Amino acid sequence: MTMDRPSKKQAEVLKFIQDFQENHLHSPSLKEIANFFEVSVPTIYQHVSALERKGYLLRTKNKRRDFEIAEKPTPKNTMTSPAFEAFTIPILGAATAGSAVNFAEEHAEGYLKVSKKLLKPKKGFFAIRIQGNSMNKASKKGTLLTSGNFAVIDPSNTNHDNNTYVPSVIDGLANIKKFQKDVHGIRLVSESTEDTHKPIHISSSDNYMVNGEVVAVIEK
């Protein structure tokens, strides 16, 4: 039996659910879908219900995240070019403002949609919004770590080489700096057009956390 074709927006919602399941190994909640598309939860509920009626989704009642893809639509149905494949990365707050708890996916403020040709997907990636000018001379593959852009973080990178860019949380505040380490300890160094941003010197007794490494920068 041929399924009714989804609308363009329904196809986009279905694609988001597929990508989310692939990258996170579980389904998104209605709120997470709504945050990504910047619409209300009731609007997403209508799209999801339509996809269920048309046979594209199966959903267990009373479970927020339990979606099952019944059948993958063809590129014709999804109205999505097969040449463009993307995945989603949760945005978990901002650098230079925000507490350590923001580095948890349940606190995602939205999602980036990134081409797989631009960045190879990896489980655990998250993004943080760059604020301020303390790193506005630094770049990753030609894209500046300037205010408004997004730094993509791989939290599995824990053995840091000197001069890699890392997200850190010091006394509850998040920031991005250049990592340097020698016999005297760790320094987190700015790369700014302004000379007011001094290095942060860290001792083993300080309350700090270095959480992964910046692997890409996405322009706003």
Helix H, strand E, coil C: the string for the chain is: CCCCCCCHHHHHHHHHHHHHHHHHCCCCCHHHHHHHHCCCHHHHHHHHHHHHHCCCEEECCCCCCCEEECCCCCHHHHCCCCCCCEEEEEEEEEECECCHHHCCHHHCCEEEEEECCCCCCCCCCEEEEECCCCCCCCEECCEECCCCCEEEEECCCCCCCCCEEEEEEECCEEEEEEEEEECCEEEEECCCCCCCCCCEEECCCCCEEECCEEEEEECC
The predicted pLDDT at position 52 comes to 85
Residues 161-190 have a mean pLDDT of 85
Residues 35-57 have a mean pLDDT of 87
Residues of the chain with CATH 1.10.10.10: 8-78
Q: How confident is the model at residue 160 (pLDDT cuts 50, 70, 90)?
A: confident
Residues 35-52 have a mean pLDDT of 88
The predicted pLDDT at position 159 comes to 80
The top-level CATH class assigned to 8-78 is mainly alpha
The two structure tokens encoding residue 192: 């700014």
The predicted pLDDT at position 106 comes to 55
Average pLDDT value for the chain: 79
Check whether 23 has a pLDDT greater than 80. no
The predicted pLDDT at position 82 comes to 45
Check whether 26 has a pLDDT greater than 90. no
The predicted pLDDT at position 98 comes to 41
Q: How confident is the model at residue 180 (pLDDT cuts 50, 70, 90)?
A: very high
Check whether 158 has a pLDDT greater than 50. yes
CA–CA gap between residue 150 and residue 102 (Å, rounded)? 15
Q: Is the pTM of this model over 0.85?
A: no
Residues 23-27 have a mean pLDDT of 71
The predicted pLDDT at position 215 comes to 92
Check if the beta carbon of residue 166 is closer than 8 Å to that of residue 141: no
Chain segment 83-119, per-residue pLDDT in tens: 457 788 888 878 764 443 445 555 678 888 888 888 8
Check if the beta carbon of residue 121 is closer than 8 Å to that of residue 23: yes
Q: Which one, of 113, 116, 176, lies nearest residue 144 by Cα? A: 176
Residues of the chain with CATH 2.10.109.10: 86-218
The predicted pLDDT at position 55 comes to 84
CATH architecture of 86-218: Ribbon (2.10)
The predicted pLDDT at position 25 comes to 65
